[in-house]
Amino acid sequence: MKKLLIANRGEIACRVIRTARRMGIATVAVFSEADRNALHVKMADEAVPIGPPPVAESYLKAGTIIAAARLTGADAIHPGYGFLSENPDFVDAVEAAGITFVGPPSSAIRAMGLKDAAKALMEKAGVAVVPGYHGEAQDAETLEREAERIGYPVLIKARAGGGGKGMRRVERPADFAAALEGARREGQSSFGDPHCLIEKYIEKPRHIEIQVFGDRHGNVVHLNERDCSLQRRHQKVIEEAPAPGMPAEMRAAMGEAAVKAAQAIGYVGAGTIEFIVDGSEGLRPDRFWFMEMNTRLQVEHPVTEFVTGLDLVELQLRVAGGEPLPFDQSGVGLNGHAFEARIYAEDATRDFLPATGQLTTLRLPDGEGVRVDTGVVEGDRITPHYDPMIAKLIVWGPDRASALARLSRALGETRVAGSVTNVAFLARLAAHEGFAAGDVDTGVIGRDQAALTASAPPPAEAIAVAALAQLRRLAPIAGDEPFAALAGFRSWGAARQAARFEGPDGRVDVPVIEDAGRFTVETPAGSTRLSVVDGADPDRIRIAFGERIATVGIAHEAEAVTVFMDTLAYRFAHYSAEAHAEEGAGGDTVAAPMPGLVRAVRVAAGDTVETGQALVVLEAMKMEHTMTAPRDGVVAEVMVSPGDQVEEGTLLLALETED
């Protein structure tokens, strides 16, 4: 293998490029118009444009990607994960072009590509599967009848799904029809297949997966397990290896089942066998069932790399080149403990709505036992076209407690401004009492979501720092006039100014009084006295709050200032009189909370609606989001239709004004 094309983008493309470079393999990046200046494009030896931003017109165009490989003389293609990584037709086309595909044979992908067929295959191979319905009949009556037979709660799953898409948990029969419709629609839009299966929902489920690896010589091993139970909306949030509380007997049983599953389909390369585990009575060898197989490298593979000391991408490349695995099962080690936290541009306080924005500040931690995989740099923009992941934060420690402590500290050192992120949510999750004790299941986040995502009011000290930053009293914005910080200066006595922020009810004035280099700030949370000890570095400003000296960070945007202190980030929007003047009075409306595609409109003008009733279904960043009625009322006007592409803030629907 001399030249490798990576048929992907973002952090996984960057991660593959790093290993290929270390192995002396030249690399080729592909990019859409939105990614022309992306990090993976800059890192590769060569880069080829493949089309407009929508993935269907760029990263999913197999012929265009193969043409790019031919153009550059690439003799191998690595698919990363997502996009074409589990498309068997793509594998066939790559191999027909005389190019090596870094992954399993198309036959293995086809065998595991549909969840229902995969479960039937596993049953024949002697691997236990979750009780459910995997039949061909897809009429709503049959599926609802099967759900009654299985017993509620049940899980509806798009058979071609992945990443939580096309998946709905249903607690009672009355909710089944709507959930089935949503799962079908999401399965069709994401995978081109509305076919669904029904499974029993395990009451205290743990999601534990086994990393497997096979070569072209018939050797298959497993690389132990990862616990991926911390999920929201069926998407993984924090993963770890090994699984807490995992007894050796069960690890051996799960590993044996995973290897048996891989051997049954002649698997080659990196793959993951996902199991659902009943954790209600601890981990027992008779309480795990096959769920699905991901026939590719996983997002969370770095935790396995940390505890085994292996580079899974290097193994992929060597196996694809025909080399045998350099070890057998007895050579697989397990050293220490590792966590991975996925940092996303999303608003946890708004049910994890994906966000966009330009990363005006991006400071990611480093140091012993800390690894960051990312595909963005400071100044990059998070767009609505792709998954809003900013980075993966991976940490290692000699045991679980030390690794978790390192994760908490690393999250506290993470500083992102320009887009709302889930960092504060991740920090709370890392400190969760049950999680810290290893008591995990897939329902942890859902049960404690209110506490984990609560938006605490900023403390007086943070408000005071933000006021000083707005008034240029510390960490001025690059390009400021040299004397901007002297605005309001007096040669004698105290100088008084006021910062103005956007509050929940309008303008909030924060008076600042300066006297001989000391400040008194009157905030809504109380009066604060402070002085700047060292303001040379905006990332590490030393401020004295009375007798206590603290380190804070400042990030400026055009519309806001963000204060980083005590491991949290507080964003303060600048007040704009012009913006308020433009808002106007208007009636009650429902607006798009993010850019997206209108998938469904549930009501029409003249309809009477109740608070919380579904109005419009919006698809953004690969997930569906339902916009609901803010109050009881009558629909005055619907401004959008299914298929419309809307921007953030676009009015979707208006209610008649209340008398």
- Verify whether residue 226 is a known catalytic residue: no
Residue whose pair of structure tokens reads 């299966």 in the numeric block? 197
CA 259/CA 579 separation, integer angstroms: 61
**What are the residue ranges of helices labelled H in 193-339?**
248-264, 301-308, 312-320
Q: Which residue, 130, 300, 175, is CA-closest to 225?
A: 300
At 171, which helix (H) or strand (E)? none
Helix (H, G, I), strand (E, B) or coil at 67: helix
Residue type, 434: G
* CB-based contact 623:233 (threshold 8 Å): yes
Strand order in the sheet with 589-591: 589-591, 651-655, 633-638, 608-609
* CB-based contact 67:77 (threshold 8 Å): no
Residue whose pair of structure tokens reads 């979501």 in the numeric block? 449
* Total Cβ atoms within 10 A of residue 81: 17
CA 397/CA 244 separation, integer angstroms: 14
At 401, which helix (H) or strand (E)? helix 400-412
Angle between helices 115-124 and 248-264 (to 10 degrees): 110
**What are the residue ranges of helices labelled H in 437-497?**
444-447, 449-453, 460-470
CA 37/CA 376 separation, integer angstroms: 10
Token pair of 452 as six digits: 């984990």
* CB-based contact 570:562 (threshold 8 Å): yes
Query: CA angle 561-566-567, nearest 5°?
Result: 80
CA 177/CA 175 separation, integer angstroms: 6
Kindly give, in sequence order, each residue whose CB lies less than 8 Å from that of residue 327, ignoring residues fewer than 6 positions away: 221
At 62, which helix (H) or strand (E)? helix 62-72
* CB-based contact 175:144 (threshold 8 Å): no
The one catalytic residue in 9, 159, 169, 296 is 296
Residue type, 655: L
DSSP labels for 87-129?
Answer: -HHHHHHHHHTT-EESS--HHHHHHHHSHHHHHHHHHHTT--B
Residue type, 275: F
DSSP 469: H
* CB-based contact 549:540 (threshold 8 Å): no
CA 231/CA 239 separation, integer angstroms: 9
| Active site amino acids | 296
